[in-house]
Structures are given as C-alpha cells and as structure tokens.
Amino acid sequence: VEFLYCDLASMKSIRQFVQQFRAKNCPLHVLVNNAGVMLVPERKTEDGFEEHFGLNYLGHFLLTNLLLDTLKQSGTHSHNARIITVSSATHYVGKLHLNDLQSRCSYSPHGAYAQSKLALVLFTYRLQHLLTANGSHVTANVVDPGVVNTELYKHVFWVVKVVKWMTAWLFFKTPEEGASTTIYAAVSPEMEGAGGCYLYNEERTKSAAVAYDEELQRRLWTESCKMVGISDEASRLP
C-alpha cells in the first residue's frame, strides 16, 4: 500500500496528486470517490466553492476527469476499469439549483448537502453515457452506503448526536458494513461490464427520478467543466 496525499477541497492539490500518480506509470483499475462532509456551516473551499458542492462533488468531478485517460488505458474488454462514486439516500430530497449551485442566495446545510449528493448521481449517469458512447472499457456506478456510524455526523445538532450515541449500535451500520456495497461494486464479477447503476445493499435499485433527466445531466456536466477549468469535449456528444 502506498499513500499519496490529495485534498479534494483543493483543485491545486487534486492536479498535483494526478501528476504524481501519472508519474508512476501505474494502471488504474478501480477509482472510488468517497470523500465528503455533511451539514457543515456555510463556508468556502480555497477555490471559493461552497464546501459541500466543492468537496463532495466538484473535487470528485475533476479528479475523475483527470484520471479518465489512465482508466481507459487500464480497462480491457474482459476486465473493465471501474469508477464507484458514493452518494447518499439524501439525494432523493435534493434539488439541483443550476442558477445557484453555490447556495449564495439562501444557504441551508441540509439543502447544500442533498444537492451535492444528487449532483454525484447525475454526474455518474452522464459519465456512463459518455463512456459508452466512446466505446471505453470503463464503467461508472453510484453507491448508497446506508446510515453508517462514522465521524460524518459531527456537525449535526447536539440532540441528534445524543440519539446517535444511544442508538447507533442498533440502527447504524458499522464502517465495514457501510463499505460492503462499494467493495461489491469495485470487485464483484456480477458487476463486470455493468454501468450506470444505483446500488444499495449490494443490489441495483432506482435513484431519484430527477437523476435520470438527461438534459439536467448534460447541463450540470457543462457547468462543472467551467467551474473546474477543463474542456467540455463531451458537449459535442449526444
């Protein structure tokens, strides 16, 4: 195991990480996008992005795009490279505000978090469409890990923290249990060649209906390219 530092809240750090990784000339068979914050107070990343959107979504959007060439070179017809992005059931109540992705008009920790998780689902579906259109041996899927007992909840109201402390053993998954669907998506033979899926408890299920809106997927992709400063070659594809 070798560790390379990458701060998903920093576009500069992400680009430096990709340079370091590419310099090793290693194949990339599995990319898991799992970093995130939840219900943080209103604040910005060093690039000026609202933190939920910047870290949870844009960081992974840029990282994945910068690594796509390596993933495409690593995948084969019999063994596709795999991209797994971790979202949340919270995306079901999320709303994507294309005219205010940074939540400048009205900030809500819950709304900003849910929007970032919905954006990840939209991104995954659009990415799979583009990979298929290009004939790439890479699949992209999105995972809902469930309610997991981790430090992700450190910004919730103190009453919720008390309830979590008292009931986590009964209602919350352990980190190991929470990781099971991500691992399934990454290595299971059953997922070979399967992309554009929303997975929960190691089964394919339906995401929010709005996530299947192809026009919304395209518009988010185009806007995301502008925000992170990469070319939107995908805009020329159907």
Q: Which residues are catalytic?
A: 113
Q: Where are the beta strands (DSSP E) in 128-213?
A: 138-144, 198-200, 203-205
- Does residue 51 contact residue 40 with C-beta atoms inside 8 Å? yes
In angstroms and rounded to an integer, the radius of gyration of the C-alpha atoms of the chain is 17
- The amino acid that residue 211 corresponds to is A
In the sheet where 138-144 sits, what is the strand order? 30-33, 81-86, 138-144, 198-200, 203-205
Q: Count Cα neighbours of 183 within 13 Å in the Cβ-side half-sphere.
A: 6
Count CB-CB contacts under 10 A for residue 22: 14
Three-class secondary structure of residue 213 per DSSP: coil
* Tokens coding 117: 């998780």
- Does residue 124 contact residue 140 with C-beta atoms inside 8 Å? yes
